[in-house]
Amino acid sequence: MRRPLARSLTAIAAAALLAPALAACGSDEPADLVIYSGRNENLVKPLIEKLEKHLDANVEVRYGDSAELSAQLLEEGDRTEAGLFLSQDAGALGALSTEQRLAPLPKATLDKVGPAHRGSAGDWTGVSGRVRVLAYNPEQVPTPPNSVHDLVKPEWKGKIGFAPTNASFQAFVTGMRVLEGDEATRTWLENLKAKQPKAYENNNNVMEAVDKGEVAIGLLNHYYWYEQVAEKGADKVKAKIHYLPKGDPGGLVNVAGVGILKGADKKQAGYAQKAVDFLLSAESQSYFAEETHEYPLAAGVKPAQGVPALETLQPPKIDLGKLASLKETLAMLQDVGLV
């Protein structure tokens, strides 16, 4: 399933000034709950329909890019019609948290998700997780490297596929900036560019390119491989994926998450809280596990068959709220010439 692409700095700035043209679902009746969703409509619409029935309420959803919606919500402030923000990544929620635009969540809600996968200020929580991995073609790469830092070695010239405009890639770069500093990250990006990586529009295209042997290795999220296997069958997918060990920045675990907007009236805030708890319920968590092959983060729900348990991985330790500095990451990528 395809995720929305991150936009340029110009687009994000424009979004802060102009109301985005967002698709909405729901009836013509006044909405009981308005959700700004950075998650793709094709991905979450079935879950939103379940939510609407659960709440027995009219839910309106306005879809867009997470970074743009976050900027729009900052611009709207207390004037926003939204009661809930469903984000594709933690960075957009972190940006709202930094500006104190999210309401505190009850302890009982926060405790449903581990501390590593929710906001440190207690005002947003992850609802599903994804891991950055290396996809590789075993015919070209018998043994994949154990670090993204190895990808800037001479032998990888012209063999790497990536999606530089994708939000997940940019979140990974932001994570590297947090973990290793701007100077080290810029150097890595410059060295990566020197290896002449092949840029693709999205992670699906990267996955397909690795599978076909157009590139030997690709940077993407784990679920793209599982989606291909579910669609085609394991015997029809040549590519494999490698989970990076020892806290490598290329093994970042990011989350899609949710927060309640400050300024929502009492009625809408009540529905928003019920919506958060529904997204953390066994029904919703099972949806993320089975339908999107993401990691469920609550309700004791296990990942889909074949997906390694989250606790068996070795991701870098990072406060996901610090992924909020997307503008700085975009500026760095533009300066280096990767976007």
CB atoms within 10 A of CB 29: 8
Q: Which residue has the higher pLDDT, 78 or 28?
A: 78
Q: Determine which of 3-7, 71-75, 170-174, 323-327 has the lowest per-residue pLDDT on average.
A: 3-7
pLDDT > 70? residue 257: yes
Q: What is the rounded CA–CA span in Å between residue 21 and residue 32? A: 21
The whole-number pLDDT of residue 20 equals 42
The whole-number pLDDT of residue 167 equals 85
Domains defined for the chain, CATH in brackets: 9-129+255-309 (3.40.190.10), 130-252+326-336 (3.40.190.10)
Q: What is the mean pLDDT of residues 217-225?
A: 97
Judge whether 57 and 32 are in contact, CB under 8 Å: yes
pLDDT > 60? residue 276: yes
Task: Please report, in angstroms and rounded to a whole number, the separation of the first and last CA atoms in the chain.
Answer: 23
The whole-number pLDDT of residue 28 equals 64
The whole-number pLDDT of residue 17 equals 39
Q: Determine which of 4-18, 53-67, 286-300 has the lowest per-residue pLDDT on average.
A: 4-18
Dihedral sign for Cα 95, 98, 100, 104, please. positive
Torsions phi, psi for 179 (to 5 deg): -80, -40
Distance of CA 79 to the CA centre of its chain: 27
The whole-number pLDDT of residue 67 equals 86
What is the overall mean pLDDT for the chain? 92
DSSP string, 83-134: SEEEESSHHHHHHHHHTT-BPPPPHHHHTTS-GGGB-TTSS-EEEEEEEEEE
Q: What is the rounded CA–CA span in Å between residue 144 and residue 305? A: 23
The whole-number pLDDT of residue 27 equals 52
Identity of residue 286: S
Q: Determine which of 3-17, 59-73, 266-280 has the lowest per-residue pLDDT on average.
A: 3-17
| 3-state DSSP assignment of residue 159 | coil
Per-residue pLDDT tens over the stretch 224-243? 999 999 999 999 999 999 99
Q: What is the rounded CA–CA span in Å between residue 153 and residue 156? A: 6
Give the residue carrying structure tokens 């015997």.
235
Per-residue pLDDT tens over the stretch 48-82? 999 999 999 999 999 998 989 999 999 999 999 99
CB atoms within 10 A of CB 78: 9
Total residues found in the chain within this entry: 339
pLDDT > 80? residue 211: yes
Which of 258, 277, 263 lies closest to 55 in space, CA to CA?
A: 277
Q: Which residue has the higher pLDDT, 41 or 5?
A: 41
pLDDT > 60? residue 9: no
Judge whether 89 and 66 are in contact, CB under 8 Å: yes
pTM (2 decimals)? 0.89
Distance of CA 97 to the CA centre of its chain: 17
pLDDT > 60? residue 19: no
pLDDT > 70? residue 10: no
- The two tokens of residue 280 are 């953390």
The whole-number pLDDT of residue 50 equals 97
Q: What is the mean pLDDT of residues 111-137?
A: 97
Cα angle at 129 between 51 and 188, to 5 degrees? 140
pLDDT > 70? residue 100: yes
Judge whether 258 and 127 are in contact, CB under 8 Å: yes
Q: Which residue has the higher pLDDT, 10 or 215?
A: 215
Judge whether 54 and 273 are in contact, CB under 8 Å: no
Please report which residue ranges of the chain form alpha helices under DSSP H.
9-17, 41-55, 66-76, 90-98, 107-110, 167-180, 182-194, 203-212, 223-232, 266-279, 282-291, 326-336
The whole-number pLDDT of residue 222 equals 97
Give the residue carrying structure tokens 């809600």.
109
Q: What is the mean pLDDT of residues 110-135?
A: 97
